[in-house]
Amino acid sequence: MPAFKDIVGHEQIIEHLQNAITMDKVSHAYILNGPDKSGKMMIAEAFAQTLQCEAVNKKLEELAGETESERIENKFTAEPCMECHSCKQAAGKNQPDIIYVSHEKPNTISVDDIRTQLNNDIVIKPYSSKHKIYIVDEAEKMNQQAQNALLKTIEEPPAYAVILLLTTNAESFLPTILSRCVTLNLKAVPDEKIKKFLMAHYQIPDYQADVCVAFAQGNVGKAIQLAASDDFNELKASALQLIKRLHDIDLYEMTEAVKQISEYKLQINDYFDLMMIWYRDVLYYKATKDVNGLIFKDEVYDIKRQAEQSSYNGIEEILQALSKAQVRLNANVNFDLVIELLLLTIKEN
């Protein structure tokens, strides 16, 4: 389980939560809203662990008589000690007063899930800690009955209760839930921070980190997944190999090229994104002749060659064709037909 200091980015949210602990102004309910793998669970777990940390709570008792300005002057930063009994339990995910609300149905958190795991449990006082914390992951999957059941608890929670709703879509919540929670929106983490983190923790070269970062679009979890993924490297190799030889293959070989792409049908959006990054690199180099700004720095020879052979209009047409292909596949247009049309457009330009 991470401490706040181990989390990459999201400084404003972390500072808000740490100040809430230091100033004894912890809300009874929070919504952590952001894309999948953006760090919601890391933040929720660090917050829960810090709230329950014995060392933090001992320090807060010492500061109890101080004013807000005196607390600020003391510069106490709420951070879990990682050494106390509670921190060790939290790290092993067996701290009895940090409860993970689960659901059996993959796409629904039912009213029974909320009643049995949260509503009926929250009335029982904490087992060994100051707070009783409930982490509801994928909270957007709560149906309306589940949300209504939760609302009753959020309206009149026990003083010790803290409910953390983790969601990719806060707009799916009832307005009455939104109005009673503190909503914290996770923003994209700057590319340089993610790149530095990947190179330090995953020992990957800078050009590989650049690809992961470009692909992740500010999402640290996605960048980590890509850096550690053999499948992603295989996907990248396949996409780039096809792009590089596409201008040289004959029309009768096009069926084989479509077949090659169809092997990655389940990852087709990632495949398209890789192609899009490639052609953006080609466009960038054609316009600037700057090698340092490329994402695929290790492919500079082929990018230069393609930039010389392509016109600005041609590259723009390819990028538009990639966007159209994604839209068509999302609309369930025939896969082979969409891919063949895309490859012909790329070949022509």
Can you spell out the DSSP letters for 220-276? HHHHHHHHT-HHHHHHHHHHHHHHHHHTTS-GGGHHHHHHHHHTTGGGHHHHHHHHH
Last residue of a domain, one of 185, 219, 250: 185
> Does residue 180 share a domain with residue 243?
no
> Does residue 33 share a domain with residue 176?
yes
**Residue 200 domain-assigned?**
no
98-101 β-sheet, strand order? 98-101, 132-136, 161-167, 29-33, 182-185
Segment 18-41 shows an average pLDDT of 88
Last residue of a domain, one of 169, 185, 201: 185
Q: Which two tokens stand for residue 91?
A: 């790290």
Segment 322-341 shows an average pLDDT of 83
pLDDT at 167 over 90: yes
**Residue 138 domain-assigned?**
yes
Segment 137-162 shows an average pLDDT of 91
> Does residue 118 share a domain with residue 244?
no
**Residue 129 domain-assigned?**
yes
pTM to 2 decimal places: 0.73
Residue 142 has φ and ψ, to the nearest 5°, of -65, 125
Per the structure, the count of domains in the chain is 2
What mean pLDDT value characterizes the chain? 85
> Does residue 164 share a domain with residue 256?
no
Distances (CA, A) of 100 to 82, 133, 155: 20, 9, 21
> Does residue 323 share a domain with residue 235?
yes
**Residue 277 domain-assigned?**
yes
Helix (H, G, I), strand (E, B) or coil at 167: strand
> Does residue 181 share a domain with residue 61?
yes
**Residue 224 domain-assigned?**
no
> Does residue 273 share a domain with residue 170?
no
Segment 102-128 shows an average pLDDT of 88
- The range of the structural domain enclosing residue 261 comes to 229-348
**Residue 323 domain-assigned?**
yes
- pLDDT tens digit string along 53-62? 988 888 887 7
> Does residue 85 share a domain with residue 171?
yes
pLDDT at 253 over 80: no
Dist CA 282 CA 299 (whole Å): 10
pLDDT of residue 147: 92
Last residue of a domain, one of 152, 185, 218: 185
Residue 329: CATH number of its domain: 1.20.272
pLDDT of residue 131: 92
Segment 222-235 shows an average pLDDT of 79
Segment 281-304 shows an average pLDDT of 86
> Does residue 334 share a domain with residue 276?
yes
pLDDT at 272 over 90: no
pLDDT of residue 296: 85
